[in-house]
Amino acid sequence: MAFVPRSVAPEIARAARRFPAVILTGPRRAGKTTLLRRLFPRASYWLMEDPDVVARVRSDPRGFLAEVRTPAILDEIQNVPEILNYVRTRIDSAPARNGRWLLTGSQEAPLMRGVTESLAGRAAVMQLLPFSTRETAKVSVLRGGFPEVIARPAGTSLWFRSYVQTYLERDVRAVSAIRDLATYRRFLALLASRCGQILTKTDLAAPLGISIPTLTHWLSILEVTGQIILVPPFFENFGKRLIKSPKIYFVDSGLACHLLAIEDEKTLTHSPFLGPLFEGFVASEVLKQQLAAGGARQIYYFRDQQGLEVDFVIPTGHRRLLIVEVKASRTAAPAMAQGVVRLSGAVRGYTAEGFLVHRPARATRPLGALVPGVRATTVDGLLDRLVR
């Protein structure tokens, strides 16, 4: 498969011109290493999962860094976070030299603790998720966007089986000493069946026979390793009693489909999970767009205790909101937009735009009025609005 340009690449290049170090986080196999080696072809490369390299770093970190030619890519740095203190020393010896240290990590929280302690003010932190629809039209709800799945779709099922096994054996055990990986695997499948739902921990813990603290810990592992999206509620007070728990989605819809044993388009089309999976797909595409632009994650949902619910509320600056309902239907019907209409009328002090994102039969980008104040569009049409 030919190299696919990544939307975040200009932001990474810009950060390398302004900071001594750039840290690129994201799920395993999202393409972090490929992107950095493409952007910085002259950089030396060191894999911090290589046992020989890890042993050298731990036995003599100063000696190891003395041999590293900069610019240097230190891949999967979370395996040797102690090296960050020594990288800081090298940076401080020549603070005006930018773009010398290019670090990747698949476990964001432990890595970020090390960055906060050692590289505060010295490193730009970026995030790379799997391919987006803006980067390749091959991304879909069924396949998701992992580069290797996009490159070899015929081997999708085998790749995801291997990915889950590798994830359990490496990332999960690296973050936490979980002994019962079989139950954790069942937890992943159960969580996939709850895509698009408000997180209720008791409903998840009971079928697995685990405690609420254990479930909370397991969810944090999925967040740390970049596998799930927790969409918080929009807390602005519109004079309503609001639901306060987040909604949960998988970052990659292809992985969620695999966990649900959905392996072809026909199965997906007739699956009761199609709607939630498409909803999560939209959430992930919005996040990818925001991250590619160098912005913060800003996507919320709205639900009050009177039953008013809208899938997504997306701030776009200057007290402007996109209020978005997502439907997997091929046809956009006015009745689908009623929640958007009601919430748009309730927001005071904001300028609100309403959208109904659906799946038309043809791959076009219609942007037509559905009801006053709400337009029907595709995923790409919504993303077009985000970049305006």
* Domain-embedded: residue 234: no
> Could you list the residue range(s) of the whole structural domain that residue 263 is in?
147-227+248-280
The answer on 157 and 119 residing in a single domain is no
The answer on 218 and 343 residing in a single domain is no
Nearest to 250 by CA among 173, 196, 169, 213: 196
User: What confidence tens digit (pLDDT) does each residue in 324-379 have?
Assistant: 999 999 999 999 999 999 999 888 888 999 999 999 876 555 567 888 999 999 99
Residue 99, both tokens? 């773009």
The answer on 151 and 276 residing in a single domain is yes
Asked which of 127, 158, 174 is the last residue of a domain, the reply is 127
Tell me the pLDDT band of 79, cut-offs 50, 70 and 90.
confident
> What's the confidence (pLDDT) of residue 205?
94
354: amino acid identity, one letter? G
Please, are residues 163 and 255 in contact by the beta-carbon 8 Å criterion? yes
The domain spanning residue 118 has which CATH number? 3.40.50.300
Question: Which own/partner pairs from 214-221 qualify as long-range (CB within 8 Å, at least 24 positions apart)?
Answer: 215/187, 217/176, 218/178, 218/184, 218/187, 220/109, 221/171, 221/172, 221/175, 221/176, 221/178
Tell me the pLDDT band of 114, cut-offs 50, 70 and 90.
low
> What's the confidence (pLDDT) of residue 113?
65
Termini Cα distance of the chain: 31
Average pLDDT of the chain to the nearest whole number:
90
* Domain-embedded: residue 360: yes
Please, are residues 131 and 2 in contact by the beta-carbon 8 Å criterion? no
Helix (H, G, I), strand (E, B) or coil at 39: helix
* Domain-embedded: residue 289: no
Residue 291, both tokens? 């991250």
* Domain-embedded: residue 133: no
The answer on 252 and 194 residing in a single domain is yes
Tell me the pLDDT band of 240, cut-offs 50, 70 and 90.
low
User: What confidence tens digit (pLDDT) does each residue in 156-197 have?
Assistant: 999 999 999 888 777 777 666 677 788 889 999 999 999 999
The answer on 193 and 258 residing in a single domain is yes
For 207, half-sphere exposure in the C-beta direction (CA atoms, 13 angstrom radius) is 13
User: What confidence tens digit (pLDDT) does each residue in 35-78 have?
Assistant: 999 999 999 999 998 999 999 999 999 999 999 999 999 999 88
Q: Give the chain's domain count.
A: 3
The answer on 217 and 122 residing in a single domain is no
* 136 exposure class (CB count in 10 Å sphere: 0-12, 13-18, 19+): middle
